[in-house]
Structure formats: structure tokens, C-alpha cells
Amino acid sequence: MTIATNFGVCILSFNVTNSVATLVRDMAKPTHFKGVAITGYLTILTVYIGIGICGYYGYGDELKAHPIMDSIVPPDQPVHGVWGYLTEIAVICSSIPHYVVMLLPIASSVEYWFHIPVDDTSWKAGIKRFIARLCCVGFTLLIAEVVSNIQSLINVLGSFTMVIMVAMMPCVYYIRIQQFVLGSVKTYIKLHKIEFVIICIVLIWCIPMIVIGSIGAIEDFGES
């Protein structure tokens, strides 16, 4: 249940679907994207596994009852010591790019709803765009203040939306693109059997993760 509840949030660390188009467009050599993506995934995997091993070695099963942040920087107490300040600075630096990556697609949708042209660089459009994005930021701050346990809310949203957005939709879109390129799904399956099997395994695995994770996340959110 715990694994399923946090599955969506975990795979978000490997999500690049929101930023791939921008990255490819801004790269000096877009043809190198595949190598860069593989290197990035391996780097993320190495970092997370390393952090997990160090955390378990240092704290063991205590993390189940007490979050690591509460152990390093106790709640309702002033931050003291070099490690306490470094930890908070590291968390803030890590959160900023994640926040921006998640906010930009939402801001783009809001701008589309209010008919703010993407290519319009005039002052009028800039002011509208600033107000729209400021409202998005204000809404997230409101949620952070109103919701007592933001992690439970993230788990509720992540159990469903993150799994679909990060794991399932890219697989479906990839098969759809291959259908356009090769002419049919059958042709793609014949040419890439192993790849298709891996995609099917990912899709099948995601279904119980969504169901079980959503149930567990809703229960945790209700208790909080």
C-alpha cells in the first residue's frame, strides 16, 4: 500500500514529458538528446539510490515514524548548526526547479484559456501573462496554507494524475507516433517486439498502482 501510494510521486523524479520539447528546441545539437536523456536518467537513478542507501544506513526504520527533515531540523524549533542550514538551503534549491517545471504547463493552459497569444511579446500581453502566472503562484500558496498535510494531498493527486501523465501517456503517445511512422501498430509490434512487451508491462503495472495508491492516499488524507 505504501509503495503504491508514493509510486506516482516517485516516478515524477524521472518525468521529462513537460520539458522535452523546450529542451530539444534550445539544444545546440538536438540529435544528442537521446544520449543526454540516458545520462540524465542514470544520474537521477544513481543519486536517488545513493540517498536512499545513506538514509537507511543512517536512520534505519526510524524514518517510518519520523521524517528525515524532522530528524535533521526539528519542527517548532529554531534551525541551528551548519547541517541544519545546509539541509534547508538544499531543499529550497531542489524545490525551485521542480516547482517551475510543474507550474509552467499549468500557466500555459491558463494563458490559453484567457486567450493570451504565445508569440505576442507586447507590453499588454506581458502584463496579462504576468498576472496569469501570479494567480497560479498565489493559488499554490493558498493550498499550502489551507491544507494541513500537503504531502497527503500530493499523494492523492500523484497516485492518479502523475502515474497517467508520467508513465502511461508517454507510452501511448509513443505507440501512436510509431503508428504514424510505420503505417500501423501491427507493423510496429512485428519490428519491435521486446520494446512493445516492455511498454505493456509498464502499462499493466501502472493500473494496480493507480487503484491501490489512490485508496491508500485517500485514507491518509482523510486521517490527516
- HEC per residue, 164-185: HHHHHHHHHHHHHHHHHHHCCH
In which domain, by residue range, is 209 found? Answer: 2-223
- Which letter does DSSP use for residue 113 in this model? H
Neighbours of 187 (CB within 10 A): 13
Cell of 149: 498535510
Whether the per-residue pLDDT at 66 is higher than 80: the answer is no
* Distance of alpha carbon 19 from the chain centroid: 11
pTM: predicted TM-score of the whole model, two decimal places: 0.53
- The pLDDT value given to residue 25: 65
- All cell numbers assigned to 178: 510509431
Q: Is residue 11 helix, strand or coil? A: helix
Domain count, the chain: 1
The phi, psi pair for 115, rounded to 5°, reads: 55, 50
Instruction: Choose among 64, 124, 132: nearest CA to 104.
Output: 132
User: pLDDT tens digit string along 169-213?
Assistant: 888 988 999 999 999 999 999 999 999 999 999 899 888 888 887
- Counting Cα atoms < 13 Å in the Cβ hemisphere of 150 gives 7
pLDDT at 2 over 80: no
Of 105-109, 116-120, 156-160, the poorest mean pLDDT is in 156-160
d(CA 1, CA 215): 9
Q: Where does the pLDDT of residue 65 fall: very low under 50, low under 70, confident under 90, or very high at 90 and above?
A: low
The amino acid at residue 223 is: E
- Least confident segment among 31-35, 69-73, 140-144, 184-188: 69-73
